[in-house]
Amino acid sequence: MEARAASQFSPFSMSGNFCSEEDQLLEVKKGPWTEEEDALLLNCVNVYGEGRWNSIASFSGLKRTGKSCRLRWLNYLRPDVRRGNITLQEQLLILELHSRWGNRWSKIAQYLPGRTDNEIKNYWRTRVQKQAKQMKCDVNSKQFRDAMRFVWMPRLRERIESSSANNASSAMVDPINNFACTTDHHAAAGHPTSNQTAYQVVGKSGSSSFDRSLCSEMAIAASSSDLSYSGSTQGASLAPTAWDPAGSCCTESSINGGGSCSRHEGLIDEGDLMMENLWYDENIWFLQQQLFDD
């Protein structure tokens, strides 16, 4: 990405990146950062420390605003920034925390060490909101939140458990007092299965319009639809996330393209798990039926 940015805006064309006439007068540069700029900013932060971004912007000689410097530091240059796929644990945590705090990205990010609010926000928008769109309901609707709580999150927990069972040494570490493992409001001891979780939630809260049979059926739908892709590399590349319902498992394209889908119960390695689809067509179909019935 950085190479990408660097090639896009070579130092020799920097003068071309001033957006407005006003920016040109003030010599404010916008757009992707170059390696030189990164080095300069890094050096300045090492010298002056974090904070006082406007001062850093002017001391550094960078033709950037303090805001831009801060953003670049927080989202990219900070030494503890984690890169790579959002893990299942992180996904679950994001869902949990979002259900509690909503779009408080920076607050959520505090519980995901190394992840930035921007990254989490992007994850939410690209993955989770896509699911809502496919279910033809609003991401903030009760239906969608229920779907997350009663199907997706239990399903994620199952995946995490089976993953950690397969890798005995990689027990799930919960950063905030088992928040992710048990869901506090569910008050479920241990790590319930999706069925258990659904019943516990409904039985305990009593406030949800998600009835017992619905939960049960959803859980059955979720657990019985353990379809995972096996076959061509094309299929593998079609599975971008653990969420994506249309992109990964048994999509029309993968089937038509000669890939094979199979139900399986067995060992799934972490890499496959990351890519595996948790939300399958039949789950979506089932939920949509429920939503329309409402």
Partner DNA sequence: AACTCAGCCAACCGCGGCTTT
Partner DNA sequence: TAAAGCCGCGGTTGGCTGAGT
Long-range pairs of 214-217 with CB within 8 A, sequence gap ≥ 24: 214/290, 215/150, 217/286
Using CB under 7 A, which of 42, 48, 76, 161 touches DNA? 76
Taking the complex as a whole, how short is the minimal distance between the CB of residue 238 and DNA, in angstroms? 5
Using CB under 7 A, which of 139, 220, 246, 255 touches DNA? 246
Using CB under 7 A, which of 13, 24, 43, 55 touches DNA? 55
Q: Is 254 in the site for DNA (CB under 7 A)?
A: yes
Dig out the tokens for 59 from the structure.
């001391």
Nearest to 97 by CA among 159, 185, 161: 185
Q: Which residue has tokens 């094309």?
A: 234
Using CB under 7 A, which of 127, 149, 157, 159 touches DNA? 127
DSSP 8-class letter at 209: S
Angle of helix 53-60 versus helix 35-48 axis, rounded to 10 = 120
Q: Is 54 in the site for DNA (CB under 7 A)?
A: yes
Dig out the tokens for 47 from the structure.
């010298």
Count the neighbouring beta carbons within 10 Å of the beta carbon of residue 188.
20
DSSP 8-class letter at 156: H
Q: Is 209 in the site for DNA (CB under 7 A)?
A: no
Instruction: Answer whether 154's CB lies under 8 Å from 198's CB.
Output: yes
Using CB under 7 A, which of 90, 96, 117, 276 touches DNA? 117
Taking the complex as a whole, how short is the minimal distance between the CB of residue 94 and DNA, in angstroms? 13
Q: Is 126 in the site for DNA (CB under 7 A)?
A: yes
Dig out the tokens for 137 from the structure.
């309901």
* Interface with DNA: number of residues (CB under 7 A): 50
Dig out the tokens for 146 from the structure.
């229920």
Using CB under 7 A, which of 14, 48, 66, 162 touches DNA? 66
Q: Is 125 in the site for DNA (CB under 7 A)?
A: yes
Q: Is 91 in the site for DNA (CB under 7 A)?
A: no
**Site residues, DNA (CB under 7 A):** 1, 4-5, 8, 19, 29-33, 51-55, 64, 66-68, 70-72, 75-76, 103-107, 117-119, 121-123, 125-127, 130, 234, 237-238, 240-241, 244, 246-247, 253-254, 257
